[in-house]
Amino acid sequence: MTELRLILGDQLNPHHSWFDTCSANVIYVMLELRAETAYVLHHAQKIIAIFAAMRAFAAELKEKGHRVRYVRLSEGSNRGALEDNLNALIAHYHAGRVMWQEPDEWRLDAQLQAWAKTATVETTCVSSEHFFTSREQVSAFFASRKSWRMEYFYREMRRQHGVLLTPEGEPEGGKWNFDAENRKRWSGEPPAPDDSRICHDRSALWEEIQRCGVRTFGEPRANTFRWPVDRAEAKARLDAFISHVLPQFGNWQDAMHTEEPFLFHSLISFALNTKMLNPREVVAAAEQAWRSGDAPLPAVEGFIRQILGWREYVRGIYWSQMPGYREMNALEQHTPLPEWFWTGKTQMRCLAHAIGQSLTEAYAHHIQRLMIIGNFSLLGGLSPQAVHEWYLGVYIDAFEWVELPNTLGMSQFGDGGLLASKPYVSSASYIHKMSNYCQGCRYQHNQRTGELACPFNALYWDFFERNQARLGHNPRLGIVFKQLADMTEEERHAIAERAGHIRLNLNDL
């Protein structure tokens, strides 16, 4: 009996048990689907990277002796929809069974489950063999607690998997979290590492994508394409990060600078989220760097927390809350995105740089996403659904299971505090402290009101004024509301007036 095994575009794991043996009766199916390029408007580099990685993976499987049916977007035999392609291939190969790995996105999971109910063949879904936790495990964790906080989850994951623990089961270094030591401003020293990623010319693929009429935004950079698209390049990037960059990662992981888009970040997130890398090998490599004396514990712990803690945690939030999570809007914010989200052309230097970099590189690190773009979006009253769709489209590593909780929950507080204990917002003082963005900006970071006052300042205080009924009881915000109460009536009126003017004229900032 012929068996078709569907591989989705983010399931490029060469070590999956499926590939342990070759069988003439097994055909691996990979499909370039128009629906996957169009469910949101995607960055050009994201489409290029996913298609290039899928094609490279198919070629690798063929080289190892597996049968592969790869359907390109441009092929006449491509039926367009996932279900139509599967039905056509079942008929063509006289298949008796279709298997697939668990999709990471609720949308695709629901789509395949619905198709399976009407399929004329046997259907089976198996694990993707990627994450530290199964869907059932994370659901059980969230069901057992009234308060969902990442720190509890992270500690439990460390214990379960024996990561950075003493022989007695205690955290190495005497504490679980070294985050307080990882908040330095970068001013040029130590020098940022060179970009060691291999450069490829993907112009032919980009031209093919354009001929198919795929709509994108952002710079394609197809002739100097640096994102890893196969296992070998992904592993080389991981090794380079662990050996040369990780030692400096901790100190400056929150820093931002106009001259260095990447600083000391790993740039492995696309490879990790498409499963070219496994989180276990990433965590193990980082821990070994500390145990070998090649990287300090705060840097290693901070990096591991992102992979073993936060990444697994937001996946749990996603699967426990979908599909309704996508529509949450606890603060009732509905303003459309300003036009400059698509151009980067704003006089606010921090946003011009962070958005401009996102459009140019299809990448921004977590603080740029959270405390620059996300911070402004929340303070400015932007629709969390619109912000979510922009983040999902613009970032090369953005897949809904990881992006949606990060954006709607952590960044936009759309879930009302399910994921984050408080809104992650700040005035211009934080941006000035952690970056050089304020230097040469039209707006003054130390002014609250007036035409040249940084918009972050009035928006920050007005945000808490407007949401006092919703947030005033939060103990983590007590000092903020105390400061607000200590302001004079004139100060609060001036702030409200300035903030109102800003929100009415977002496109002119």
pLDDT for residue 147:
60
For the chain, the structural domain boundaries read 2-126, 135-321, 339-508
Q: What's the fold here for domain 2-126?
A: Rossmann fold (3.40.50)
Q: How far apart are CA 320 and CA 314, in angstroms?
A: 10
Write down the pLDDT at residue 144. Answer: 66
Averaged over successive runs of 10 residues, the pLDDT of the chain (509 residues) comes to: 96 97 96 93 98 98 97 90 94 96 96 95 96 85 70 91 94 88 73 84 96 96 95 96 89 84 88 98 97 94 94 91 93 97 97 97 94 97 98 98 96 92 92 92 93 95 94 90 90 93 95
Give CA–CA dist 324/318, Å, rounded: 10
C-alpha gyration radius of the chain: 24
DSSP string, 403-446: HHIIIIIIIT-TTSSSS-SS-----HHHHHHHBSTTTT-SSBTT
With beta carbons less than 8 A apart as the criterion, state whether 42 and 49 touch. Answer: no
Between CA 150 and CA 95 the distance in angstroms is 44
Residue 480, amino acid: V
Cis previous bond, 323, omega within 30: yes
Partners of 101 in the β-ladder: 126
Q: Which residue has the tokens 């032919």?
A: 204
CATH top class, domain 135-321: mainly alpha
CATH class of 339-508: mainly alpha
Task: List the one residue out of 276, 274, 269, 256 whose CA is nearest residue 303.
Answer: 269
Alpha helix locations (H) across 264-330?
A: 269-273, 279-291, 297-304, 312-321
Helix (H) or strand (E) holding 19: none
How many angstroms separate the Cα of 384 from the Cα of each of 109, 396, 502?
23, 20, 18
Task: Order across the sheet with 2-6: list the strands.
Answer: 67-71, 26-31, 2-6, 95-101, 122-126
Looking at residue 437, what is its pLDDT?
94
Q: Which among 229, 203, 205 has a CA at the least distance from the CA of 58?
A: 229
